[in-house]
Structure 1
Amino acid sequence: MKRTFSFILACLSLLSVSCTSNSVTDESVPEVVIPEPVPAVVKSNLVTEVGFMWTFATESSGVVLSDGFIYTHNDSGNSSVFFKVNPTDGTLIQTIKVTNFSNVDWEDITADDDFIYIGDFGNNDGIRKDLKVLKISKSQFKNATDAVVYVTAEAIQFSYTEQTSFITTSTHNFDCETVISKGDSLYIFTKDRGDNATRVYKLSKTPGEYALTAIGGYNVKGLVTGGDYNAQTNEVVLIGYSASGHKNSFIYLLSNFTADSFFSGKVVEKIIGNSTNDWQTEGITFGSADGKKLFLSCETTAFTKSELYTTDKTTLGF
């Protein structure tokens, strides 16, 4: 019995050693922690931080100031909602849900007195045949006080007459991230991955289907991601970054042009980023009727959270 007991103890001891030597301890496998993006390590002395928007608009892709509020939205893969934001601190006031259209790739937002327009025309691979601008009546949400408001939209559909190939490629000229409102028309500025230029297309505000041909263009030597028009000063502002990555962010101011020949007048560029940091500047809007103030936004990246900024033409040297 004593021998048997000793044998059992020996076996248990070996088993214990075996289990200990082959077991995976908490120390051997460190916990995987996915960090939040750090707050705005990308700094520019040409812009002032207003407030973070990453908790609701992590991929803020367009901004517009309308009726005293900022409106912004996320891009592809997100819900079909846009957000009413306080322009003084970037906090969320209201979420507005479009119930009859999905967010294929919402890339910019603009407005006139009566409507919000959202450009669902992001086309990274150059294969989309469902490009559209959503037209949303402000009367559906303007006086609403609920935290979430539900609205419907009408579609202004379009295609590019110059596009004959719809084969996936990263070097095409039919991506788009910018729409502005001027008078009774919308104007689309493309994000040309093929030649780093931008082309301008005129689009009716009346829902329907349209085949568009470029009415102008300019070699911006980069990728245009947002824009706005100021009726009082008759100026257009564009924002973007270099084709080599989300670096060397730039702002263009277009002025002294006639009608919709936007690049026929004075064209001034200001670099606001640098060649080192990843700062994905996406949206821009005039922030005052006199055109002196500007708001801009960026998407969340590994280097910065989605944020609302402000600047002015004097600071930019315009």
Structure 2
Amino acid sequence: MRNFGIFYFALFVLSALSPAHLKAQTISLTKIASLGPEVSETSGLLNIDGRIFTHNDSGNKAELYELDTLSGAVKRKIIVANASNIDWEDLSSDDNFIYIGDFGNNKGDRKNLRIYRVSREQLLFSENLLADTISFSYNDQKTFSSSLYSTNFDAESFIVGESNIYVFTKNWGNFKTNIYKLPSAPGNYQAIKIDSLNVNGLVTCATYNANDKSLVLAGYTFSAFSEDFLCTVYFDKGNADLLQRFSINNATGIQIEGICQSGNHYYLSNETSSVLSASLFKISLLELLTGLSATKTNKNIISGPVNNLLHILDGNKYQISIFDSSGKKMFYGTLSSITTHDWPRGLYIAHIINTEMNYTSVEKLFVGHE
């Protein structure tokens, strides 16, 4: 939570080119609805089976809220009975559990950082939850003196993958984000620093898709030339590359705090500020890159690459267009296999037309070279 006035906010999305390919592009958020007073300090979003959940941040109740994605209304209130909300900042999930990050630390002096873990099934069907606790400290933090808005041990975002938790710090001291790794099982751990990204800003939330290794970080810049932006990054097994960047041209100062993926779209939420009341937004990265949209989502039409080849199931049925993350068209045609040996490492968008059943779908593909 920010109690220091109005600043400019940023958004980081993950794609996959080398930093040399970074270039400025713009994107706009589409507002879906205003959020009610119950979630005026929304500080995280999570999509579970098409249902969107949020929570408030520091000093609020230990409660989760299910949102109506059309009206923004609170559909359900869920109490985490054995938890407290010192500074809840983000939500994440794996196949069996959802996780609540209680690790906001803008003075750098907390010694009770923790992540609550709750059964996904409980969340979906009960209004009273019991949580396990994952306690942690940063392995390289040696001092805990209080220093407001200057610490590199604040955090507002994390993801869960491969039985691990990855925390992304909000570095007031150098405007980077450090990545810390710890187990996702209940216990008391030292979080190990494994990587760092020079995001030139302050990260506020994250969402991760393990299928295409796409990570989205949200945050804001903090300087005389503050701006809102999107960056694409590649994340796999703790390794992160900061890639494509997009300015958000209609989001200045709205305090984006939550983000989650739903299909080929991302939902975002902002907490109430003097600029705008708490609201729910939506963006489509795929339509931004290609100018194309899908009428149906189909998985696994394209597989690979294996040995520098993409393989298309029943290739003669599909008209395939593949774009890189700058929107450049890399392939167009109906082949059953496509060579990728000279394609740069990165995330690609495939727009697929089924010529027999008259529908289109979109898939994300990662091309990597050893």
Amino acid in the other structure paired with 2:106: N
Pick aligned residue for 1:283 from 250, 258, 268: 258
Residue 155 of structure 1, CA deviation = 0.7
* 1:279 counterpart SS class: coil
Per-residue CA distance 1:204-231 (angstroms, 9 max, x = gap): 1100000122100111000000011112
Gaps of 5+ in 1: 1-43
Residue 86 of structure 1, CA deviation = 2.1
TM-score normalised by structure 2 residue count = 0.68
* 1:139 counterpart SS class: helix
- Residues 246-257 of structure 1 correspond to what in structure 2 (within 5 A)? 248-255=227-234, 257=235
Matched, 1:120 2:89: no
Amino acid in the other structure paired with 1:159: S
Residue 247 of structure 1, CA deviation = 5.4
Whether the 8 Å contact between 1:187 and 1:202 is mirrored in structure 2 is yes
Whether the 8 Å contact between 1:227 and 1:236 is mirrored in structure 2 is yes
Q: Which residue of 2 aligns with 1:162?
A: 140
Residue 297 of structure 1, CA deviation = 0.9
Which structure is larger by alpha-carbon Rg, 1 or 2? 1
Identity over aligned residues, as a percent? 36
Question: Do the aligned partners of residues 167 and 105 (structure 1) sit closer, same or farther apart at CA in structure 2, a change above 3 Å counting?
Answer: same
Amino acid in the other structure paired with 2:194: I
Separation (CA, whole Å) in 2 of partners of 1:173 and 1:242: 15
Separation (CA, whole Å) in 2 of partners of 1:200 and 1:213: 8
Count of matched residue pairs: 264
Q: Which residue of 1 aligns with 2:206?
A: 227
Relative contact order, CA 8 A, sep 6+: which one is greater?
2
Separation (CA, whole Å) in 2 of partners of 1:200 and 1:156: 17
- Residues 54-69 of structure 1 correspond to what in structure 2 (within 5 A)? 54-69=36-51
Per-residue CA distance 1:277-297 (angstroms, 9 max, x = gap): 421111111111xxx211111
Question: Do the aligned partners of residues 251 and 45 (structure 1) sit closer, same or farther apart at CA in structure 2, a change above 3 Å counting?
Answer: closer
Q: Which residue of 2 aligns with 1:180?
A: 159
Whether the 8 Å contact between 1:201 and 1:214 is mirrored in structure 2 is yes
Whether the 8 Å contact between 1:227 and 1:284 is mirrored in structure 2 is yes
Separation (CA, whole Å) in 1 of partners of 2:192 and 2:142: 13
Matched, 1:314 2:280: no
Amino acid in the other structure paired with 1:172: T
Separation (CA, whole Å) in 1 of partners of 2:151 and 2:47: 31
Question: Do the aligned partners of residues 246 and 315 (structure 1) sit closer, same or farther apart at CA in structure 2, a change above 3 Å counting?
Answer: farther
Residue 262 of structure 1, CA deviation = 1.9
* 2:109 counterpart SS class: coil
Separation (CA, whole Å) in 2 of partners of 1:138 and 1:57: 21
Amino acid in the other structure paired with 1:301: S
**Misfit runs of 4+, over 3 Å:** 244-247, 314-318
Q: Which residue of 2 aligns with 1:190?
A: 169
Q: Which residue of 2 aligns with 1:47?
A: 29
Q: Which is strand-richer, 1 or 2?
A: 2
Separation (CA, whole Å) in 2 of partners of 1:310 and 1:66: 17
Whether the 8 Å contact between 2:201 and 2:220 is mirrored in structure 1 is yes
Whether the 8 Å contact between 1:249 and 1:279 is mirrored in structure 2 is no
Whether the 8 Å contact between 1:80 and 1:99 is mirrored in structure 2 is yes
Pick aligned residue for 1:217 from 166, 183, 196: 196
Q: Which residue of 2 aligns with 1:300?
A: 272
Amino acid in the other structure paired with 2:244: V
Separation (CA, whole Å) in 2 of partners of 1:45 and 1:230: 21
Residue 167 of structure 1, CA deviation = 1.1
Separation (CA, whole Å) in 2 of partners of 1:307 and 1:213: 35
Whether the 8 Å contact between 1:62 and 1:284 is mirrored in structure 2 is yes
Matched, 1:86 2:64: no
Residue 258 of structure 1, CA deviation = 4.0
Separation (CA, whole Å) in 2 of partners of 1:141 and 1:314: 30
Question: Do the aligned partners of residues 246 and 56 (structure 1) sit closer, same or farther apart at CA in structure 2, a change above 3 Å counting?
Answer: farther
Separation (CA, whole Å) in 1 of partners of 2:87 and 2:266: 25
Separation (CA, whole Å) in 2 of partners of 1:132 and 1:281: 23
TM-score normalised by structure 1 residue count = 0.78
* 2:128 counterpart SS class: strand
Per-residue CA distance 1:101-159 (angstroms, 9 max, x = gap): 11000000011222110000000100000000000112223234xxxx11111110100
* 1:61 counterpart SS class: strand
Q: Which residue of 1 aligns with 2:336?
A: none
Gaps of 5+ in 2: 1-25, 290-324, 326-370
Q: Which residue of 2 aligns with 1:139?
A: 121
Amino acid in the other structure paired with 1:279: I
Separation (CA, whole Å) in 2 of partners of 1:173 and 1:305: 29
Residue 273 of structure 1, CA deviation = 4.7
Moved more, 278-287 or 207-216: 278-287
Amino acid in the other structure paired with 2:139: T
